[in-house]
Each structure stands twice: as C-alpha cells, then as structure tokens.
Structure 1
Amino acid sequence: MLRKGDLTQGGITGTLLRFTLPMMVGSFLQQCYNIADTLIVGQCIGAGALAAVGSAYTLMVFLISVLLGLAMGSGTVFSLHYGAGNQVALRRSIFSSFVLIGIVTLILNVAVFLWLDPILRLLQVPRDIYSMMRNYLWIIFCGIVFTFIYNFYAALLRAVGDSVTPLWFLAVSVVLNIALDLFFILQLDWGIEGAAVATVIAQGAAALGIVIYAYRHRPELRWRRDDMCFDRTCLKEIASFSTLTCIQQSVMNLGILMIQGLVNSFGTAVMAAFAAAVKIDSFAYMPVQEFGNAFSTFIAQNFGAARYDRIRQGVRSAFVTAVVFSLLVSVLVFVFAEPLMLVFVRPDEAEIIAVGVAYLRIEGAFYCGIGILFLLYGYYRAIRMPGMSVVLTVLSLGTRVVLSYWLASMPEVGVTGIWWSIPVGWLIADVVGIWYYRHVLGARGS
C-alpha cells in the first residue's frame, strides 16, 4: 500500500518534479520576504536604504543558515526513518531535534543582540547607512524564533513527502508581508524599520499556521509522552546530520558574508548593485536549489528503504533535468539582465545598473555549475555522508573568497574579479564531487 508522501514508488522523473514544484513555489515566496523589502525600500526610500537592506540580508542569511542547516539535517534523518517505516524512531527524532534547534535558536538570538555592532564594523558598513542597517537587523532578529518554528515544521513535512502544505502558509504570510510593507512605509512613514516589522509579523503568521496544521492533521508526527526522551543513538544521529549540515550552510554563508565585506569596501553604489543583483540571482537559481533539496529527500527515503536501483536511476534523471533547466535560465538572465535590474533600481541610477548587469552576465552564464552542486550536496547528505557536502562547500566558497580578494586587489580587474570568482568555485567543487561519485562510490558499488 502506497503511503502518503512515499517517494520510493512510482515514476522517478515525474515523482521528483511533482514533489519539487511546491518547494520551488515556496522558496520563491520565501525570497519575497526580503525581495518585497528591497523593492519597496529601493523604489520608495532610495539607494542608501536599498544598500542597507541588501547588506543586512546577507548577514541575516548567514546567521539564520545555522537554523536552516540544523532543520535540513534533521529533515534527512526524518526521511530515512520514514522511508524505513520506523514510526517510533521518527517521533523521537522529531522531539530531540526540536529541543536541540530550539536551544541553538535561543543562544543565537542572545549572541546577535550582544555582538551586532562589532559585526557591522567588521563588515565595513559605510557610516551613511550604518544606523539604518542596525535598526533593520535589530527588529528582524526579534522574530528569529518564528523563523526557527516555520522552517523546522516545513522541513518535517517535506521529509515525509508533503511539500504542498508549507507552501500555503508561506503564501499567506508573503501576501501579508507585502501589504504591511506598503502600509508601514507609505502610509505610516516608518521607513526601513517598517519593512522589518512587516517581515516579523508575516513570519509569525506562517509559524503559527504550520504548527496548528501539523498538530491537527498529522497526528502520526506528534510526539507522545514516551517519545519525549533523549535516546543516545537518536541524539547521535540527529547531531551528526544536523551539525554537519549546519556547518555546510554556515561555511557557505560565511564565505558569502566575507564577499559582502569586500563588496562594501567599493562603496554604496556597488553595494546597491550587488544587493539588487543577488536578489535576481537568488530567484534565478532558486528552482535548481529546491530541486536539489527535493532530490535529497527522494534519495534519503529510497536509501532508508534500500532501493539502490531506484537511487541510481534518480541520479541520472536529476542531473539531466538540472542541467537543461540551468542552461535555459542562464540564457534568460544574460539577455534580460538590464530590465531585471530596473525592477529594483531607478532608471537614473546608471552606475548601479551597469555594475549589476556586469555581475549578472558574468555569474549568470554559469548557473549549470551551481545546479549540479546543489544535487551533489543533496545526494551526499541523503546517503549518510554529510561530511562530503561540507568538503564541497569549503572547496567552492574557499576558492571564491581567496580568488575574490586576490583579483579585486588588482586595479585593472577590481570588482569584476569578485564576479568571476563565483563560477570558478562552482566548477572546482563540481569536478571533485562528480569524481568522488564515479570513482570512489562507484568502485564500492554505491
């Protein structure tokens, strides 16, 4: 009998795409939280506010990546137990990971409030936007608990094959966010602080909605009194997957944060261009990122069910799909780079537009590299080798950071060197990941 959310049965490509589509839409909507702030702030307040929100977003992503990494790692464990049909282990792992990530959230929240100013100074935030960025971040991190709750339950539902439900609550919260953005900024004139308040309220709505749904409609995922214990084996498994995935996400975003600091040193115009271009970038490769996450759930369930033949077929199908889609998106971004920048930047900001277009046409031409890398991350995480995902992340981001600082220091190259370092990092990690899959795992018969 086919269980709800079972990815170990049925056609492979169709199953993957049907499972991925709601995740893609959900990721698109989640991007809209900051996109709405960036677009409305950039058009209604100005370039300084745009630079502040864009730079704040990079810091937010780095800090929240700790929670997302823990949730993703836990989700892999949930998928493995669900695929194996072990309901007791599933419920106990849900309880253990919820407590673990909740404690980390509390520690992270306190740390942010204590060290926010030293972090902003380290990032070389220009004096003219320092106070705006600080106020925005202070409010945003007052709602970090909502980020934890929503992403934990979204990861749980996706792990058991339900990628649709998180989408509905996210959709409602995004609409609420945009409406509150317009009300607080245009009607109440709260400025950049209004955008932050709107985001926190909207995230709170998503968190509350998904918790109520999970409690009422998925009783098999609700832990019982005898599940509320910290079994050593369960804790070890959760800690292993969650910590390594957390490290992977943190390393990834630490590298991006270091790049942000380098970009900031080139001034407000480059900061604003980078802020807008990164939003476009996020949208462009977001579908293959979510495809990689869906692929990871697919592999994990089949790995738990020992369906190794299905895993090999899934790998081939996923790689072809990711490459074709990435090439198509690269062409679109290259051709429409300038109109895309104009969505976020006023037409009279010629310097900002020119810098953003250069970024998109260099980096955007190589989305195939990041598409393959997302699949490799998901695959190694799902087959109980999250350490390999960390290795690939370090290779990719390490190359990008070192190359960026080296090239940007050359007057004849400048900021363009930062853009070229990105696809080079992707390529190196892809080559290593594919080589390991073919020659090491292949030799083992994995």
Structure 2
Amino acid sequence: MRKDKDMTVGNPFKLIGAFSFSLIIGNLFQQLYTFVDTIVIGKKIGTLGLAAVGGTEWLIFLVNGVIIGLVQGFCILLGNSFGEGNEQKFEIYFAGAKRICFVLAIVLTVVFLLVSGVILQLLGTKDEVYTMAREYTNILFLGIPFLVFYQLFSGALRSRGNSKIPLLAMTISSLCNIVFDILFVNILEFGIAGAALATILSECVVMLICGYYYYKEKRKIDNYIEVYHDKLVTWNLIKMGTPMALQSVITSIGGLIVVNRINQYDITFLAGYTAAVKLYGLLEIAASSFGMAVVAYVAQNYGAGKLSRIREGVRASLIMGVIVALVCSGVMIFGGKDILRLFIDISDTTEKTLWYGNRFLKILAIFFPLLYSLYILRAALQGINNTIIPMVSSFAQLLMRLFCTIVLTRFIGSDGIFWGEVFAWIFADIILFMHTSTQLKFVSGS
C-alpha cells in the first residue's frame, strides 16, 4: 500500500501535526534506547563509564551532523521534485544522492577512525576515561555506512510525506538496541564496547528496514536512471547539502570547545552534565521532529508553487512548538532531579553530581520555547532552498558558546557554560526570525 502523503493540499495544522507526531514517536524510541544506554552504562560501568560517553557526545554529534545535514539538503530537492509531481526528477536526484553517500560513508569512516584519538586528546579527555572513550567512538565510527544510508532512505521516504515507515523502522531498531544493550553490557559484560556495538547493530537494522520499503514501493521509472549521471545534478545536491552539513560542523565545534572546558572540571561535574544532556536530548526530540516536518511541508509546497500555504504552515508549527516546549519546561523544572537519579549510581558519586545536572536543566527550561522556535524557523528557510542563513545562525550560536565558555565562566563559574546554550538560542532566533519574516512575505507575495 502506498504511504506517500501530498502535503500541498489539506489543513496545514493537521498535516504538520500528524507528520510531526509520527516523527516524535519514532525519535522517542530512538531516545529511549539512548536513555536505556545511559542507565545501563551508569549503573553497570559507573561514573567513569558515564563520563567517558559524555566526553564523546559532541564528537559523535559532529560526525552525525555532517551526515544528517548533507542528506537533509539532498532531501529538500527530493521534496521539491515530489511537490512538482515530477517522479523522474525525484529518482534522478535520489540516484545522484546515493552515489555521493557511498563515497561519503567510506571517507568519513576512514578519516574518523584515524583521527579519533587525536581529537579526544585535543578535547582534554581525562586519562582515567580516555581508553574507554576511544574504544567507544571507534566502534561507533565503524557503523557510519549504516547511518549514512539510513538517513538517505528515511529522508527520501519523508520527502514524499511518508513518516510511517521511518517510525516503524525506528521503533523496531530501538527495541533491538535495548535488547543488545542488556545482552552485551549486563549479561556478556563487554563493557563500553558492548554499548557501542549495540548502537551500530541497531543502525544496521533501521537502514535495512527503510531501504527495503523504499525499493519495495519504488515508482516504475526507466531503468537508465540508476546509471544516469549528470554533473549538474551532483552539483545541485552538493550545493544544497553542504551548507547544512557546515551548519552542523559549526554547531559541533562550539560543542567541542564546551567539552574541552568541561573536561577541566572534576568527574562529578562531567557526569552531572552528561546525565542532564541525555534528558535535554529526550525533551528536544519534539523540536527536531517539528523541524523535519516543516522542511518536508515547505519543500513540497515550494516545489508545487503553492507559496501562500507556506506561511500558514509555519505559523501553525510555531503555535504547536511553543505549547510542547512549555510542557517540556515543566518536566525539567518539576521532575528533572528525580529523572536524573535514574542515570546515576548513587553508591559511587555524590549529591553534587545531581546538583550540577539539575542546575543545568532548570536554566534551559526557562528558555525552552526559544529552542523549538529555532528548529521551526530554520526549517522554514531550508524548505524554500535557503540553506545559507541557517548556517549563519549556527555561526552566531558558535560565537555565543565561545564567549560564554571562555569569558562568562570567569565571572560566574560553571553556570557560564549552561547560560552559553541559552544565549546561543537567543542570537540564532533573532537572525532566523528576521530573515524568515522577510523571505516568507516575499515568496508569498504579500
């Protein structure tokens, strides 16, 4: 049964809401295994294991960000083609994206396996967790090809308005990851390597499911498309994807600088920060889901030339996003500390770890609607093929994280790191709001 969804007709509020809901559920399952992964590591391996994983967070984000950013750029062109109703153009772009992804997977795997140790040293990773951190990252990097093609297949499905298959795949993959985690870490006692192995095996599962369904439902297009090669197609894909990949790189650089600063504090601070980031990531998934839904919606309508629907959809998304953000803020303020206890083995740490984590959550909670607005406004610009301004906004985030990490911490201590996240959101939102307001009025002709 065909599960493609034409988002150029119908109520934007309902379309984006339903699409986002499927993505939220899928991403919840993805975060669920991250949640369980952290609990298993914290309880079985202890604070050192948790600190080792925490010290690699932004390095992993860098790799994932390059992949996701580049592929999302490809999928904007796929969404435009689907909105136009041009199946042949869609498949030509997909074939070109597949070739680029094949090269990307090989290059990233080799490069990051070679430089992971050097990067961890530059980050100031503590000696007591360095070995575990390097083992963890190297195993994850072996799974880069799975991640690349999962993003391509799931992104192609979403660009056609199909969020159900990615949801199914992520649900199955997440449950597999939880089982693998318990098996490799708790039962077989593979340690930190077991947690990493569980992750790459689950990535393989989700890639296979999305790939199977994409080709199963593939439209009947002339066979020449699979071998068709056009330099202009390749250039268009790279031109669209590169700024989005750079956007993730810029954000990651800011995060890596923060990690370098965090590594100068004691283990209790790093463990508390890591636990808080895990919960923050769980509550952030609705924001990223709204962003992906808005990209798909705007890209289809932009391709179809139905420009008046774009502003209506963005407005509906902002309303939904702010409401969800306020609910998440309440969770962090009133339940954050109790949830953090799930990650931490009290026998080998102190209440100070909980205090650091809870402090971070409460600062973020007050401004959480800004994060949701950031995702939606950025996605709106990307959907109308403007990937430059979102990249500029990421550079603004980098500057604010640098300022707060290097300067503000001298005056208010570790709180400067926490406030750096908030100020990064504020400055990015200002840039995105100014350009979104102008460009959406322009494309809508009003």
TM-score normalised by the shorter chain: which range applies? over 0.9
SS at match of 1:153: helix
Cα displacement (A) at 1:291:
0.6
Alignment of 1:34-49 (within 5 A): 34-49=34-49
Does residue 313 of structure 1 match 2:304? no
Cα displacement (A) at 1:54:
2.1
Find the counterpart in structure 2 of residue 27 from structure 1: 27
Amino acid at match of 2:332: V
Alignment of 1:270-309 (within 5 A): 270-309=269-308
- Alpha-carbon distance in structure 1 between the residues aligned to 2:220 and 2:394: 32
SS at match of 1:82: helix
Deviation per CA, 1:417-437: give whole Å up to 9, x if none. 110121112112212221223
- Alpha-carbon distance in structure 2 between the residues aligned to 1:203 and 1:360: 29
SS at match of 1:131: helix
SS at match of 2:55: helix
Contact in 1 for aligned 2:101/2:149 (Cα 8 Å) = no
Q: Which runs of 4+ in 1 moved over 6 A?
A: none
Find the counterpart in structure 1 of residue 65 from structure 2: 65
- Alpha-carbon distance in structure 1 between the residues aligned to 2:311 and 2:396: 25
Cα displacement (A) at 1:24:
0.9
- Alpha-carbon distance in structure 2 between the residues aligned to 1:167 and 1:194: 25
Alignment of 1:138-157 (within 5 A): 138-157=138-157
Deviation per CA, 1:28-61: give whole Å up to 9, x if none. 2222343332110101110000111222232112
Cα displacement (A) at 1:332:
2.0
Amino acid at match of 1:389: P
TM (norm. structure 1) is 0.95
Find the counterpart in structure 1 of residue 262 from structure 2: 263
Find the counterpart in structure 2 of residue 231 from structure 1: 230
Find the counterpart in structure 2 of residue 241 from structure 1: 240
- Alpha-carbon distance in structure 2 between the residues aligned to 1:338 and 1:400: 25
Cα displacement (A) at 1:149:
1.4
Alignment of 1:30-179 (within 5 A): 30-179=30-179
- Alpha-carbon distance in structure 1 between the residues aligned to 2:354 and 2:287: 26
- Alpha-carbon distance in structure 1 between the residues aligned to 2:99 and 2:113: 22
SS at match of 1:124: coil
Deviation per CA, 1:154-199: give whole Å up to 9, x if none. 1110010101101112211211111111111222121111111111
CA gap 1:207/1:439 in 2 versus in 1, 3 angstroms? closer
Contact in 2 for aligned 1:41/1:49 (Cα 8 Å) = yes
Find the counterpart in structure 2 of residue 338 from structure 1: 337
SS at match of 2:9: coil
> What residue ranges of structure 2 are gaps of 5+ in the alignment?
none
> What residue ranges of structure 1 are gaps of 5+ in the alignment?
none
Residue identity over aligned pairs, in percent, reads 26
Cα displacement (A) at 1:441:
5.2
TM (norm. structure 2) is 0.95
SS at match of 1:172: helix
Find the counterpart in structure 2 of residue 8 from structure 1: 8
Give the number of aligned pairs.
Answer: 442
- Alpha-carbon distance in structure 2 between the residues aligned to 1:274 and 1:316: 34
Cα displacement (A) at 1:443:
6.0
Cα displacement (A) at 1:221:
7.9
Cα displacement (A) at 1:232:
3.1
SS at match of 1:409: helix
Contact in 2 for aligned 1:91/1:221 (Cα 8 Å) = no
SS at match of 2:56: helix
Contact in 2 for aligned 1:331/1:365 (Cα 8 Å) = no
Contact in 1 for aligned 2:27/2:170 (Cα 8 Å) = no
Amino acid at match of 1:16: I
Over the residues paired in the alignment, what is the CA RMSD in angstroms? 1.8
Cα displacement (A) at 1:118:
0.8
Single out whichever of 26-35 and 393-402 deviates more from structure 2: 26-35
CA gap 1:115/1:233 in 2 versus in 1, 3 angstroms? same
Contact in 1 for aligned 2:295/2:383 (Cα 8 Å) = yes
Contact in 1 for aligned 2:52/2:133 (Cα 8 Å) = yes
Contact in 2 for aligned 1:395/1:429 (Cα 8 Å) = yes
Cα displacement (A) at 1:71:
1.2
